[in-house]
Chain A
Amino acid sequence: MKIQQLFGMGVLLMLICEAVWSTPLPDADEIARRINARDEGVAVARSLTMRLTDRRGKTRTRETRAFRKYYGKEKRTVIFYLKPANVRNTAFLTWDYPQADKDDDQWLYLPAMRKVRRISASDRGDYFLGTDLTYEDIKLETRVSMNDYRRKTTGEDEVDGHHCYLLESIPVDEDTARELGYGRVEQCVDSEIWMVRRSRFWDIKGKPLKTSYFRDIRKVQGIWTQHRIEVENHKSGHRTLFLFRDVDYEHGVSDDLFTQNALRRGL
């Protein structure tokens, strides 16, 4: 038996011991903090294919290229639609400020109008351009919102063979719940890499709303990256699949991309 294998056994043993003995589950806020502390890279560029399937199995596909960059704590995101031809050049830009009381600034470029339109930011519970993800979901990416929910750790589970903690979040008040469109959220957080692998949502009335799976998580340039998001809306039967490709944390994210001019010019 080689030294490394011995060492590995040792670690495994320690983990099992921890799992068995540390009966008190980690604090929910601590988990949330760990999720948010994860390295996401300062900037990322990626291609995103959105596949939307309705109850009857009819599918629509949109190809986009998306960019995100942190400016300190401020985060800017831009998504350019490439296909199909009908929606080509549609682009969406968000400037997300760290201050809780400051609304995001959002702009939408519609090629049919040839104008960059300011859109109000508070529709964060609205579904993002026909998908089953809300504007808030899109904006948060792999993170969780600290101020909108009260949360607790409710147990452990396994998703796609990975151990995770179950995190239950309840909106802080009814207004927030209405704004977000969720009455309760249960997330399954990978205990190793601190990424959400599954989310279940209930609506304000407590009825099951949708379930999301975050899959094909692998390291890209040293950063854990999800490559597949599957969402099923239980109420409408509509499903959304996000597929990420060509993820790049290192190159090609110019500051100029996050401007109204860039929206207008397109990719």
Chain B
Amino acid sequence: MVSAMICLLKMPCAVVCSKIAKRGGAAWISTLAYSLAVYAGAPDVDQIFSARWAAGIDDGRSQLFELGWRPEARWRFNDGGRLTGRLRLRVQTESGTRPGNIENDSFAPATRPQTIGETGELDLRELYYERPLDDWYLTIGKQQVVWGKADGLKVLDVVNPQSFREFILEDFEQSRIPLWTFNAERSIDDWLGGDWTLQLLWIPDQTYHALPKQNATYAFSSPRLAPQPPPGVSALIRSSEKPDRLFADSDAGMRLSGFVSGWDVSINYLYQYDNRPALHQRFISGATPLVEITPRYHRMHVLGGTFSHAIGDWVIRGELGYFSGRYFLSNASQAQDGVASSPELSVVIGLDWSGVEDMFISVQWFESWLSDYRQGFTRPERDNSLSLLTRRYFWNDTLQAELLWIANTHDNDGLLRPSLSYELEDNLEVRAGLDIFYGKRAGLFGQFDNNDRFYISLRYGL
């Protein structure tokens, strides 16, 4: 009798509760959604379905196939508060770009996407509550904070880390990794002859760049990014030594942005762990020598500013960032662990022109300088890139043709991205294009010379 009772009690409860314990996140979300439905009424819901397929041009093999579902819900409260939640479910079937090919050690447990089998991935992209409070505007929760004015190349857009699953080919909106953030903004009017906003950020989320694993299609191989063990020496990549103290290892930052006599300007400061890990190396001699590579993260200060201004048909914009100490690979013998640090100064100046109807042309000049450059660094002291973007709209903006060209002038390599996108229906967008890398293997873009691809994608909104 008693044992029967125990069994009865055990079976369903154990099943349910172990599920709760295992799928803690999902349970919390559904509980939250339910209580919100009760207290805040029905949410506004949007959802986007997407499909993407890419094939390698060099080898003709399928490189990526992805199906995605991205629902978004917003609840409004009577006090002016608002809760926004975004989920992303995607299935990636091609072996070089599946979730398993991307290192997910670099995520804090509360931020890490849930993998489903070999190919599926469920990610709580964003979940934040925002509301004005006196002179402040608070946004609390998992969110993206985007800084900077540059397109395609990032200088100050470093608040959130990024997934390099498809190097830089994936849309930044999708590749950026939202973090649990406390974001407070406050307007300061009529100060220095303009309107200003102060933004304070506190990010108790130890999540960093998600980098492709060795077997991934877009695994790094350029000596700039990947250590090159001598011939005959194999490499052992350890899991990263990630900071994990919630408070002590959190990032904090502020931005003061304003509009002064026609100029948008901002001053930015961030105290953070560099999202790029430093790849510390240890040589193990013996009959079969080995290099042990341990990714570690280092603190740095980021100080910078941005501006943009429109004159006639032109918009000029720029961004400057100073990074107090970044780690770079170095093969100098005195470089400890194969890495060495240097402050980095990065600048980007962009010029947009829209003098002709339905036409947009933009050029950017990008320069990065290491102030403490030493012999042996695998990247140059001064690194310079140029980008050109031309875009033209046809048929009342339903068809858009675009060419993006990014070139690194130091390595003479680059990336060409022509594409066409067409709005087939109100809610249905088709896009096709080419991503072509060129240049030497050692270069940032040249390393993917064999990855040139053709792609086609569909996006359907509901």
Choose one: A106, A115, A120; the contact of B352 (CB below 8 Å).
A120
Contacts of A111 in B (CB 8 A): 173
Given that A85-B48, A120-B352, A259-B195 are contacting pairs, would A54 and B426 also be in contact in the complex, using a CB cutoff of 8 Å? no
Chain A, range 108-134, C-beta contacts under 8 Å to B: 111-115, 118-123, 125-127, 129-132
| Closest partner residue, chain A, to B393 (CB atom) | A130
Q: Is A88 an interface residue (CB 8 A)?
A: yes
Q: Is A105 an interface residue (CB 8 A)?
A: yes
Please tell me if the beta carbons of B396 and A236 are within 8 angstroms of each other in the complex.
Answer: yes
Please tell me if the beta carbons of A112 and B171 are within 8 angstroms of each other in the complex.
Answer: yes
Chain B, range 135-160, C-beta contacts under 8 Å to A: 137, 139, 144, 146, 148-149, 151
CA distance A238 to B396 in the complex (A): 8
Given that A114-B146, A114-B173, A131-B396 are contacting pairs, would A119 and B264 also be in contact in the complex, using a CB cutoff of 8 Å? no
CA distance A129 to B397 in the complex (A): 7
Please tell me if the beta carbons of B259 and A103 are within 8 angstroms of each other in the complex.
Answer: no
Binary per-residue interface labels of chain A (24-65) against chain B in the complex, 1 for a CB within 8 Å, 0 otherwise: 000000000000000000000000000010100011110000
Please tell me if the beta carbons of A261 and B357 are within 8 angstroms of each other in the complex.
Answer: no
**Which candidate, B203-211, B235-243, B306-314, is the interface stretch facing chain A?**
B306-314
Contacts of A118 in B (CB 8 A): 264, 308-310, 315, 317
Give min CB distance, A251 to chain B, whole Å. 15
Give min CB distance, B158 to chain A, whole Å. 14
| Closest partner residue, chain A, to B160 (CB atom) | A114
Give min CB distance, B2 to chain A, whole Å. 57
Contacts of A125 in B (CB 8 A): 357
Please tell me if the beta carbons of A85 and B146 are within 8 angstroms of each other in the complex.
Answer: no
Q: Is B262 an interface residue (CB 8 A)?
A: yes
Q: Is B197 an interface residue (CB 8 A)?
A: yes
Give min CB distance, B134 to chain A, whole Å. 13
Choose one: A115, A122, A236, A238; the contact of B313 (CB below 8 Å).
A122
Please tell me if the beta carbons of A105 and B310 are within 8 angstroms of each other in the complex.
Answer: yes
Q: Is A212 an interface residue (CB 8 A)?
A: no
Q: Is B46 an interface residue (CB 8 A)?
A: yes
Give min CB distance, A210 to chain B, whole Å. 12
Residue tally, chain B, CB below 8 Å to A: 51
Please tell me if the beta carbons of B354 and A123 are within 8 angstroms of each other in the complex.
Answer: yes
CA distance A82 to B72 in the complex (A): 13
Q: Is B11 an interface residue (CB 8 A)?
A: no
Contacts of A103 in B (CB 8 A): 262, 310-312
Contacts of B312 in A (CB 8 A): 103, 120, 122
Given that A118-B308, A126-B357 are contacting pairs, would A52 and B396 also be in contact in the complex, using a CB cutoff of 8 Å? yes
CA distance A112 to B137 in the complex (A): 23
Given that A259-B195, A260-B259 are contacting pairs, would A120 and B310 also be in contact in the complex, using a CB cutoff of 8 Å? yes
Binary per-residue interface labels of chain B (430-462) against chain A in the complex, 1 for a CB within 8 Å, 0 otherwise: 000000000000000000000000000001011
CA distance A261 to B135 in the complex (A): 14
Chain A, range 71-92, C-beta contacts under 8 Å to B: 84-86, 88
CA distance A59 to B354 in the complex (A): 28
Q: Is B47 an interface residue (CB 8 A)?
A: yes
Q: Is A181 an interface residue (CB 8 A)?
A: yes
Q: Is B358 an interface residue (CB 8 A)?
A: yes
Interface of A is mostly: loop
CA distance A57 to B49 in the complex (A): 26
CA distance A111 to B461 in the complex (A): 14
CA distance A217 to B8 in the complex (A): 71
Chain A, range 178-204, C-beta contacts under 8 Å to B: 181
Give min CB distance, A137 to chain B, whole Å. 14
Please tell me if the beta carbons of B313 and A112 are within 8 angstroms of each other in the complex.
Answer: no
Contacts of A207 in B (CB 8 A): none
Q: Is B247 an interface residue (CB 8 A)?
A: no
Contacts of B311 in A (CB 8 A): 103, 120
CA distance A8 to B185 in the complex (A): 59
Q: Is B172 an interface residue (CB 8 A)?
A: yes
Choose one: B46, B139, B310; the contact of A106 (CB below 8 Å).
B310
| Closest partner residue, chain B, to A181 (CB atom) | B357
Choose one: A84, A119, A129, A181; the contact of B426 (CB below 8 Å).
A84
Give min CB distance, B216 to chain A, whole Å. 25
Give min CB distance, B147 to chain A, whole Å. 9
Please tell me if the beta carbons of A86 and B427 are within 8 angstroms of each other in the complex.
Answer: yes
Q: Is A265 an interface residue (CB 8 A)?
A: yes
Give min CB distance, A259 to chain B, whole Å. 7
Given that A84-B461, A112-B171, A118-B315 are contacting pairs, would A60 and B146 also be in contact in the complex, using a CB cutoff of 8 Å? no
Contacts of A88 in B (CB 8 A): 46, 461
Please tell me if the beta carbons of A85 and B427 are within 8 angstroms of each other in the complex.
Answer: yes
Please tell me if the beta carbons of B358 and A126 are within 8 angstroms of each other in the complex.
Answer: yes
Chain B, range 244-276, C-beta contacts under 8 Å to A: 257, 259, 262, 264
Q: Is B130 an interface residue (CB 8 A)?
A: yes
Given that A54-B395, A119-B310, A120-B354 are contacting pairs, would A86 and B173 also be in contact in the complex, using a CB cutoff of 8 Å? no
Q: Which 7 A-B pairs have the closest CB atoms?
A: A85-B461, A130-B397, A85-B46, A114-B146, A118-B308, A86-B461, A130-B396
Please name 4 further chain A to chain B contacts, defined as beta carbons within 8 Å, in addition to the given A85-B47, A103-B310, sorted by A numbering: A112-B172, A113-B173, A118-B317, A120-B312
Which residues of B are at the interface with A, using a C-beta cutoff of 8 A? 46-48, 72, 130, 137, 139, 144, 146, 148-149, 151, 171-173, 176, 185, 187, 195, 197, 257, 259, 262, 264, 308-315, 317, 352-354, 357-358, 393, 395-398, 423, 425-427, 429, 459, 461-462
Which residues of A are at the interface with B, using a C-beta cutoff of 8 A? 52, 54, 58-61, 84-86, 88, 103, 105-106, 111-115, 118-123, 125-127, 129-132, 181, 236, 238, 256, 259-261, 265
| 22 contacting pairs across A/B (C-beta < 8 A) | A85-B48, A86-B48, A103-B311, A103-B312, A105-B310, A106-B310, A114-B172, A118-B308, A118-B315, A120-B311, A120-B313, A120-B314, A123-B313, A123-B354, A123-B357, A126-B358, A130-B397, A130-B398, A236-B395, A260-B197, A260-B259, A261-B185
